[in-house]
Amino acid sequence: MIYYIIKRLLSIIPVGCGVIISVSLLIHMVPGNPVDILLGDYASSEERAELTQQLGLDQPVLSQIAHYTGGLLEGDLGTSLIYNKSVFSLILERIVPTVELAVSAMILAILLSIPLGIWSALRKNTWADFSALLFSLLGIAIPHFWLGPMLIIIFSIKLDLLPVSERSGLSSYILPAVTLGTALMALLSRITRTSILEILKEDYIKTARAKGLSEWRIVLKHVLRNAYLPVLTILGLQFSTLLTGAIVTESIFDWPGLGSLVLEALNQRDYPLVQGCILFFALSYLLINLATDILYLFLDPRIKLPGEV
């Protein structure tokens, strides 16, 4: 187990290097210059040249990447060009709202998708099953940038029930969480349905039915105990997706999280801040996947690590 974890952690290094190089090259290809944003349109050419040199932007792109990588090896994510603050401190300031939004979306998805998946599986090939399938397809197909504004128009502007934007109380979590969690809810409902249908074919389920147990008791006591493992895997994989997917949702609802911070950094050509945020998202994805795999091993002893007999 320890060897497996160390091996997975070491595999993060080349992935992180690839992310740094890719993001650095792409951000430098985007039109615009942070010097123009910092100094404005009326700065002299001498002032622009001096600030460009101070920020190290006069160096070749590969030299800038090498300098940034050297700082990472020392634990330094760099300093934001626009905010003039440590990138690490900016990420810490914004990570809590993003995690809160992702957790809210996941809880909402779990509470709605599990009962829907069970209901759909127990009514296979009926109108209820087809209705759940249609709902799932719509949930996956509808993009966040359309669903968010529609929810604002209906529940905030027309009905005046929920706040339009910002993080100002429990009610302000509802619309962003629905927007972010709808696709996950649709996916989980289908995974739950498929997993339950597979378990219902097992011999011990037939034995339970032969003993006269009710269908709901069989599902709650025997089926769900074995059907939750695929759902757990999807939850682990999708939580990191929720963190990155929050970029669009946070911009719609003016949510003060990492997603809105990334967009601000991109608009202002804040190279160190963009690199730091994207690197954080990538590492979060890898670490959450590793944690999911390890948890899966503990929950299902039948699974063996690579190389184990």
**pLDDT per residue as tens, the chain (309 positions):** 677 778 777 888 888 788 888 888 887 777 777 777 777 767 777 877 887 888 777 788 888 888 888 888 888 888 888 888 899 999 998 999 999 999 999 999 999 888 888 888 888 888 888 888 888 888 888 888 899 899 999 998 998 888 887 777 788 899 999 999 998 898 888 888 888 888 888 888 888 878 887 777 787 777 877 777 778 778 877 887 788 777 888 888 888 888 888 888 888 888 888 888 888 888 888 888 888 777 777 766 666 655 554
Asked whether 179 and 252 are in contact (CB, 8 A), the reply is: yes
The CATH T-level fold of domain 94-299 is MetI-like fold (1.10.3720)
What pTM was computed for the model? Answer: 0.83
User: For position 309, what pLDDT does the model report?
Assistant: 47
The residue among 6, 10, 65, 19 whose CA lies nearest residue 280 is 19
User: For position 307, what pLDDT does the model report?
Assistant: 52
Distance CA 84, CA 78 (A): 10
> Is the CA virtual torsion 266, 268, 269, 270 positive or negative?
negative
- Tokens, residue 236: 């682990």
How big is the chain, counted in residues?
A: 309
Domain boundaries, the chain: 2-73, 94-299
Report the SS3 class of residue 98: helix
Q: First CA to last CA across the chain, in angstroms?
A: 13
User: For position 139, what pLDDT does the model report?
Assistant: 86
* Other Cβ atoms closer than 10 A to 214: 11
Residue type, 10: L
User: For position 308, what pLDDT does the model report?
Assistant: 53
